[in-house]
Amino acid sequence: MSTLTEGKRLSWLRVTVLALTIAGLLAAGTYYWNTTRDSATAADTGRWYGSYVDATSTPFYPIAENIAPGERVVLGFAVADPKNSCANSWGGYYSMDGANETFDLDRKVARVREQGGEIVISSGGLNNDELATACTDEQKIIAGYESFLERYDSTTLDLDVEGNDLEDSAASLRRGSAVAALQNRATEKGKPLEVWVTLPVDTRGLTESGLGEVKRLLESGVDLAGVNLMTMNFGSTRATGQSMSAAAEQGAGSAHRQLKALYEQQGRQLGDQTLWAKIGLTPMIGQNDLLGEVFTLDDAGALKAFAVANGIGRISMWSANRDMDCGPNFPDLQRVSNNCSGTAQEDGAFARTLSADLVSPATALNSNPAPIAAPMETAIVDDPAKSPYPIWNSEAAYPKAERIVWRGNVYESKWWSKGEAPDLPASDAGATAWILIGPVLPGDKPEEPIAIPQGIYPAWSSDKVYDKGDRIVFDGRIFESKWWNKTENPEAAIQGSADSPWSRLSNEQVKSIILESQKAS
């Protein structure tokens, strides 16, 4: 009896051990499956780098320079026109047509795409009203976003919500509804829209207003690609002696925990890796707005390493306009500049550091490329009837700032030149006489010649004495005297001589003079 009893007890023990073993294996399998799925989801997201560019800051930034395939240009800021709350503008200064006329934005964007880059439209920013804040008509808000995206052939919208925009919950609801409708419309057209929301952060994570913005976007049905953290201006939350990169990493970790909890409240369980891929990091390079906060090149290297190690979905920086040394004439490096970083650096050093080797599996090059096709004739014959500027001529002389068309592209002369082809190969871009602006665009047509009205200014005379500021007409162009002179032919100015007492007025200046003359008459 005792033997039978012992046997029965042994059988139950075995059953229990077997059950626990099976449960352990199932748990391990489930964990492995979830982890694998989490990793795969994160890998499918696709990591990218893109510098912010302040489109309207002067001097206007050459957005198409040094763009690597797969990189993005985050173009800011698309905002409400101060004079018309439901009309959009660049920075409150230029319409889209105005931006093209003033600083060739359409042509520069086309050049970015030619090099394999992409344009991100950034809406909002600190200094103006985001469209959904200023406008209360949802259909006009949708049309405003859509017009920017279509004009610049962009499939990514960056909602930079900060300042007063971040405290306006009614605007937040309009924004969420409009963007969700915009995404649905884009999907129906077969061109899905990637949406990021850019928000301030400190070492404790997102602010309450920032979390509210994310929550309302999700509740409105927006499919958020991610939350881009402005890792800058940490203030008192940064510990004494803590580096800017360490503060940024701490802020990112805090935001990761906040977003995990927020998604769970929305009924969505996201794995840690999937959630990291939904986070972007955007430092302010060099001197930040707060004294004592300087994001160095060492910080850039550390933050990039952190981003790669954790599978961060996006790295940006504020801004490409500032990615250069301030030089010896800048008096106070603690004063923030729109045009330099305030740190000792080579031009473009922050962009190179933050973007280096930032390639995710989703954007890696195909390891089995298609066979290279046989060479074919690539010479382009320019059509004067479809070219916005004259075709380059090897026999003609071109003064500084003259524009021409050559083999399907628009170039601008950097100095007087003759016989130097605009696309002449050169190892040093600084040695060429021409700047490549961008391609001839569909719909381009010859620029109307500017006819100088009779009598607007006198013709140049070799017998007359000219004082500084005097204007004359010579060879169908208007010139202004730089100093007192007599018998000095303006031809030297056309040829680019720095010693000429004459400077030729630009087409924009001439148009303005003619317009004022017409108003006066």
Position 360 scores a pLDDT of 47
Q: Which CATH architecture has domain 384-439?
A: Ribbon (2.10)
336-395 pLDDT, tens digit per residue, is 999 999 999 999 999 999 999 875 444 443 434 444 454 444 567 899 899 998 899 888
Where are the chain's structural domains? Answer: 44-355, 384-439, 465-520
Q: Residue 313 gets which letter from DSSP?
A: S
CATH classification of 44-355, choosing from 3.10.50.40, 3.40.640.10, 3.20.20.80, 3.40.1110.10?
3.20.20.80
> Whose CA is closest to 172, among 132, 139, 226, 228?
132
- Give yes or no for residue 151 having a pLDDT over 60: yes
For the beta sheet containing 403-406, the strands, ordered from the edge strand earlier in sequence to the opposite edge, are 403-406, 409-413, 434-439
91-113 pLDDT, tens digit per residue, is 999 999 999 999 999 999 999 99
Q: Residue 91 gets which letter from DSSP?
A: T
Position 285 scores a pLDDT of 98
CB atoms within 10 A of CB 462: 8
**Cα-to-chain-centroid distance, residue 419:** 36
Position 1 scores a pLDDT of 37
**Cα-to-chain-centroid distance, residue 210:** 22
- CATH of segment(s) 465-520: 2.10.10
Helix, coil or strand: residue 505: coil
SS3 string of 218-259? HHCCCCEEEEEEEECCCHHHCCCCCCHHHHHHHHHHHHHHHH
274-328 pLDDT, tens digit per residue, is 999 999 999 999 999 999 999 999 999 999 999 999 999 999 999 999 999 999 8
Query: Dihedral of the CA atoms 64, 67, 70, 71 (nearest 10)?
Result: -90
Q: Residue 392 gets which letter from DSSP?
A: P
Place 512 in a pLDDT band, splitting at 50, 70 and 90.
confident
184-201 pLDDT, tens digit per residue, is 999 999 999 999 999 999
pTM for the full predicted model: 0.80
Backbone angles phi, psi at 59, to 5 degrees: -65, 145
Dihedral of alpha carbons 490, 494, 500, 505, sign: positive
Is the pLDDT higher at 39 or at 64? 64
Position 15 scores a pLDDT of 55
Is the pLDDT higher at 497 or at 479? 479
> Whose CA is closest to 116, among 72, 61, 152, 54?
72
pLDDT averaged over the chain? Answer: 88
Task: Give the C-alpha separation, 281 to 286, whole Å.
Answer: 15
Are 44-355 and 465-520 the same fold in CATH? no
The pair of three-digit structure tokens given for residue 180, joined into one six-digit string: 């969700």
